[in-house]
Chain A
Amino acid sequence: MATASTSCTGGTGRQIAWVLATALSVAAGIALLTIYRPPLPARIAAVLVPIGCGLAYAFQLVHDMQKLDELQTRINLEATATACLGVFIAALVYPVVQSAGFAGPLQPYYVLILLSALWMAGYLNAYRRYR
């Protein structure tokens, strides 16, 4: 989820870079673990690298959030609230949807996709309201 859209394009670029690094390290880690069955140190590294990239993204995000002015902060918080509320409702309803046979087992990336989509929708809605 690309949570802070900042007025500082350099910060946004670094956020995107860390998200991409996280996604790539996850993909590489999965490939490494499933194809090569590496020894323990490599398995630990395959787990720690994505976590490190994710933490770097989180620090960059917080750093960029601190540069936002009060309206931009409000827009970001409204987008985050929209995303959290949407995922909360979806998590409540999903067992019923699954029991009814309309959906399969919940995959973690479903939540990521829903969270990102709702965050963007919330951001665009708030941005348009204050434009």
Chain B
Amino acid sequence: MKNRLKVLRAENDWSQAELAERLGVSRQTVNAIETGKYDPSLPLAFTIAHLFRKAIEEIFEPNGRDRSPAR
């Protein structure tokens, strides 16, 4: 899953440590999400979206390997 977390963090002029503190997670978690190595849980994704006052889909978007649900 791709995300715009790094861009949004830069827009707010926050360090990874500051963002981690606001989200209540470790700096390693913020870094892993930014680099796409870790996809956050739904509650954490909602917390991130709430913090940046955006919808989840404005921050996170699926990449090629994430499949759409079968209909």
Instruction: Give A contacts to B, CB under 8 Å.
Output: 7, 69-72, 74, 129-131
User: Would you call the interface of chain A mostly helix, strand, loop, or mixed?
Assistant: helix
Evaluate contact between A71 and B24: CB separation under 8 angstroms. Answer: no
Residue of A7, A69, A70 with most chain B CB atoms under a 10 A cut-off? A69
Give the residues in chain B near A69, CB-CB below 8 Å. Answer: 24-26, 29
Number of interface residues, chain B, beta carbon within 8 A = 12
Question: Looking at the complex, which one of A7, A70, A72, A131 makes contact with B40 (CB distance below 8 Å)?
Answer: A70
Residues of A within 8 A of B24 (CB): 69
B41 touches A (CB below 8 Å)? yes
| Residues of A contacting B25 in the complex (Cβ-Cβ under 8 angstroms) | 69-71
Instruction: List, in ascending order, chain B residues with CB within 8 A of A71's CB.
Output: 25-26, 28-29, 32, 38
10 CB < 8 A contacts A-B: A69-B24, A70-B44, A71-B25, A71-B26, A72-B26, A72-B28, A130-B32, A130-B38, A131-B32, A131-B37
CB distance from B32 to the nearest CB of A (A): 4
